[in-house]
């Protein structure tokens, strides 16, 4: 049996399309196998499913084999992944971790401040700041978000500057789609005095670090506040429901446990040393999906402000 993540990653990259095409499979990744509700020390290919169904009720082609190329598998009943928009106070200056949103959405979370070409920007998700591709550049961004009482006349804090478009499946649920890597956008503050270079309930970001398997992480979000978790899977490919019959496939994600609810989308995810490792963008009843921060920074060509590193 392949003993390392690198060897299992090679196998997963080969078999992922077949696994993702099986009915009920929402995501695939690498994690520890669970037996009798206990986590073992055995690495496995994890198939996250909408509902755990008995073998008798599945067609033969939809059965998940007990192992693939000598790599064990496991089935994780996460439910369907969806973007996390839902409900708080007005902050001036506004730190990361508080309510924010495009004028036409409900509310998400302000992630953190980033720098591009010597200017400061607010970082969050596309579906929080750019209304899932539906926004125009220069659209108003409110803090708090509209669901939390934000009004355009009084609570506009920024204007949409840039976003990475999300590619949807357009009704063709083809798991061979190359997938999206990020759900991210930036907004330019109207006044830099209205933003704060730290995370609510956490403080300053220490630096940038790569998210790793079994890493302890935390986030400060609009709905659930400061929560902690563990990176349970890496190399994750997942379907994510954006509502209005829009589903997108995301690849090269990391998955943590139950540390978020609706409205926490956009939260900066940090390790125990306060290094930023990811951008939270979706979740299910049991799990949280996170963009790798290096993919976010590369896509937007941004970095942490010089004062943070």
- Measured in residues, the chain has a length of 309
User: Which among 43, 44, 52, 1 has a CA at the least distance from the CA of 23?
Assistant: 52
CATH code of the region 207-295: 2.40.10.10
pLDDT tens for the chain, 309 residues: list them: 556 899 999 999 999 999 999 988 999 999 999 888 888 999 999 999 988 787 888 888 889 999 999 999 999 999 889 887 655 889 999 999 999 999 999 999 999 999 999 999 999 999 999 999 999 999 999 999 999 999 998 999 999 999 999 999 865 555 555 689 999 999 999 999 999 999 999 999 999 999 999 999 999 999 999 999 999 999 999 999 998 889 999 999 999 999 999 999 999 999 999 999 999 999 999 999 999 999 999 999 999 998 644
In the chain, residues under CATH classification 2.40.10.10 are 207-295
Tell me if the bond preceding 144 is cis, omega within 30° of 0.
Answer: yes
In the chain, residues under CATH classification 3.30.300 are 5-77
Residue 309: per-residue pLDDT: 42
pTM strictly above 0.85: yes
Residue 55: per-residue pLDDT: 80
| CATH topology assigned to domain 88-199 | Thrombin, subunit H (2.40.10)
Q: What is the DSSP letter of 191?
A: -
What span, in angstroms and rounded, lies between the C-alpha atoms of 181 and 179?
Answer: 7
Q: CB–CB of 217/269 below 8 Å?
A: yes
What's the token pair of residue 250?
Answer: 């995301």
What span, in angstroms and rounded, lies between the C-alpha atoms of 67 and 90?
Answer: 51
Residue 260: per-residue pLDDT: 95
Q: Let me know if domain 5-77 sits in CATH 3.30.70.
A: no
């Amino acid at each position: 049996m392949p003993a390392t993540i690198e060897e299992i990653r090679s196998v997963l990259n080969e078999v992922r399309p077949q696994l993702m095409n099986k009915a009920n499979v929402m995501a695939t990744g690498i994690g520890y196998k669970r037996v009798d509700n206990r986590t073992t020390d055995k690495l496995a290919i994890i198939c996250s499913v909408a509902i755990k169904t008995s073998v008798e009720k599945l067609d033969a082609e939809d059965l998940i084999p007990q192992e693939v190329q000598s790599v064990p598998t496991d089935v994780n009943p996460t439910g369907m992944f969806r973007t996390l928009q839902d409900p708080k106070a007005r902050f001036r200056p506004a730190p990361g971790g508080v309510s924010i949103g495009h004028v036409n959405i409900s509310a998400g979370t302000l992630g953190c401040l980033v720098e591009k070409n010597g200017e400061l920007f607010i970082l969050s998700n596309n579906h929080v700041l750019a209304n899932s591709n539906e926004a125009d550049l220069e659209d108003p961004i409110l803090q708090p978000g509209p669901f939390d009482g934000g009004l355009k006349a009084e609570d506009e804090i920024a204007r949409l500057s840039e976003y990475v478009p999300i590619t949807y499946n357009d009704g063709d649920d083809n798991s061979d789609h190359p997938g999206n890597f990020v759900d991210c956008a930036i907004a330019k503050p109207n006044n830099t005095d209205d933003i704060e270079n730290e995370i609510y309930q956490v403080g300053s970001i220490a630096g940038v670090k790569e998210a790793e398997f079994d890493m302890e992480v935390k986030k400060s979000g609009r709905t659930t506040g400061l929560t902690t978790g563990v990176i349970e899977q890496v190399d994750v490919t997942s379907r994510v429901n954006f509502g209005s019959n829009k589903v997108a496939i995301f690849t090269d994600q990391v998955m943590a446990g139950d540390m978020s609810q609706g409205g926490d989308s956009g939260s900066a995810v940090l390790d125990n040393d306060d290094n930023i490792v990811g951008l939270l963008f979706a979740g299910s009843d049991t799990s949280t999906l996170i963009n790798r921060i290096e993919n976010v920074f590369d896509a937007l060509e941004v970095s942490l402000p010089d004062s943070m590193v």
